[in-house]
Amino acid sequence: MNTTSADTTGTTARAKSATASKTSLASSAKFKTFAITFSASGALAYCLIQFFNFPLVTYHPATHRLVWGYEGPRPGEGPNMLWYGWTLTALIVCSVLGVLAMMLPERISAKIPLALIWLLPILAVPYIVYSLMPWWVQAASH
Amino acid sequence: MTDFITVNTYWTLWLLAHLLLAVTLVGALTHQAVAVALPVRKVAGPAGFVTRYRAVPPVGYATAVCILWVLTFFVGSYIYTKYRIFIRIPLEQGGYYKTGGFFDFKEHVSTIGLLMLPAYWYFWKNAQNPQYDSARKWTTIVLCAMCWFLFIVGHVINNTRGFGS
């Protein structure tokens, strides 16, 4: 493969496509602040919500019962499911943080490190593995 | 619905829909991640398979990836109710604890990936802005790695106790 130019086909196409597809939402400074804050806080918010166990709802799949907040499994009603509740709480928390960040002056909101968006999900992995310890302990002892 | 198809067929169709959406998503994200991580320079001779694979315009995938992630997430959330009763309990009874643990790992990763989507979309819709080049590249690569993890765990779960069970 001979390289003849520093320009890339991908970059050229990317720039043309980006110009054509840029929407008003994508050019909005407010949306930028919201999106970056929402995503930067996502992994941390979700891990904290899961750690402190703050589900918005609890679902009981055997009885199709949905209740607000946390409710443990009840005798004769099968298991409970918390993941829906954790996800909904995380969506609300991140949305609130995003809206609050939109109210800040841009000189402050612009200082949010963009690397948090991809770095925190990687850093969350050891915590997630730790939070699933009962599974690994049972697997080791089985 | 059960007047037309059996309950088992109904849930199998949803599982297949989840699979097809996931295959499309993993394909789109992999194309985009490879294109952004290893961009193709102009080649003088004929381009090989790998070069053509990397040469896709990655901007065009962003909205599709977001829609596919959300759709796959919703369908997965729907069939998850059946997993909890009809798959996870037999897995525990059979001593497949690592498989069950990795499924719980998958649910956490899918939510964290969902929460990354607004910034991912914004970065790609501003692809001409060099300020976001690094964040766009690494967000896409991390999302792609997450998607492969979700896909492989889902595949293993399905092999353990999924399709038709």
Task: Express as a percent the part of chain A with pLDDT over 90.
Answer: 73
Those of residues 99-158 in B touching chain A at CB distance below 8 A are 100-101, 104-105, 107-109, 111-122, 124-128, 132, 134-135, 138-139, 141-142, 146
Buried b (16+ CB within 10 A) or exposed e, B89-110: eebeeeebbbbbbbbbbbbbbb
pLDDT score, position A2:
39
pLDDT score, position A109:
87
Chain A residues in contact with B105 (beta carbon < 8 A):
128-129, 132
pLDDT score, position A20:
45
8 Å CB contact between B81 and A81? yes
Domain ranges (residues) in chain A? 26-141
- Three-state DSSP at B1 gives coil
Taking the alpha carbons of A73, A74, A75, A77 in that order, is the dihedral positive or negative?
negative
Closest-CA distance, B80 to chain A, in angstroms, reads 9
Chain B residues in contact with A25 (beta carbon < 8 A):
125
A58, β-bridge pairs = A67
pLDDT score, position A5:
40
Residue B86's nearest CA partner among B12, B4, B5 is B12
Q: Nearest CB to B59: which of A14, A98, A119?
A: A14
pLDDT score, position B49:
83
Q: B68: number of CA atoms within 13 Å, CB side?
A: 19
Among A44, A109, A114, most B C-beta atoms within 10 A, so best to mutate, is A114
Kindly give the parts of chain B with pLDDT less than 70.
1-2, 43-44, 162-165
Q: How confident is the model over A23-80, as pLDDT tens digits?
A: 788 889 999 999 999 999 999 999 999 999 999 999 999 999 999 999 999 998 899 9
For residue B114 the two structure tokens come to 């969902």
Q: What's the rounded Cα separation, in Å, for the pair B37 and B138?
A: 8
8 Å CB contact between A95 and B120? no
pLDDT score, position A9:
44
Q: How confident is the model over B40-87, as pLDDT tens digits?
A: 877 667 778 888 888 888 888 999 999 999 999 999 999 999 999 888
Q: What's the rounded Cα separation, in Å, for the pair A123 and B2?
A: 45
pLDDT score, position B16:
94
Chain A residues in contact with B41 (beta carbon < 8 A):
3-9
Q: B15: number of CA atoms within 13 Å, CB side?
A: 21
Please check whether residue B28 touches A, CB under 8 A.
Answer: no
A90's CB contacts (< 8 A; 6+ apart) are: A42, A45, A46, A49, B111, B115
Contact yes or no for A46 and B115 at CB 8 A: yes
Residue A59's nearest CA partner among A72, A47, A75 is A72
The per-residue DSSP string of B102-114 comes to HHHHHHHHHHHHH
pLDDT score, position B34:
95
Estimate to the nearest angstrom the gap between the alpha carbon of B156 and the chain centroid: 14
B44's CB contacts (< 8 A; 6+ apart) are: A2, A4
pLDDT score, position A21:
52
Mean pLDDT of A87-104: 97
Q: B89: number of CA atoms within 13 Å, CB side?
A: 12
Distances (CA, A) of A82 to A71, A72, A121, B83: 9, 9, 20, 14
Band of residue A8 on the pLDDT scale cut at 50, 70, 90: very low
A94's CB contacts (< 8 A; 6+ apart) are: A37, A38, A39, A41, A42, A45, B115
Estimate to the nearest angstrom the gap between the alpha carbon of B18 and the chain centroid: 10
What is this model's ipTM?
Answer: 0.91
Taking the alpha carbons of B17, B21, B26, B28 in that order, is the dihedral positive or negative?
positive
User: The pTM is what?
Assistant: 0.89
Among A1, A80, A88, A99, most B C-beta atoms within 10 A, so best to mutate, is A1
Domain ranges (residues) in chain B? 7-161
Among B11, B59, B105, most A C-beta atoms within 10 A, so best to mutate, is B59
Q: Nearest CB to A117: which of B55, B107, B116?
A: B116
Q: What's the rounded Cα separation, in Å, for the pair B62 and B64?
A: 5
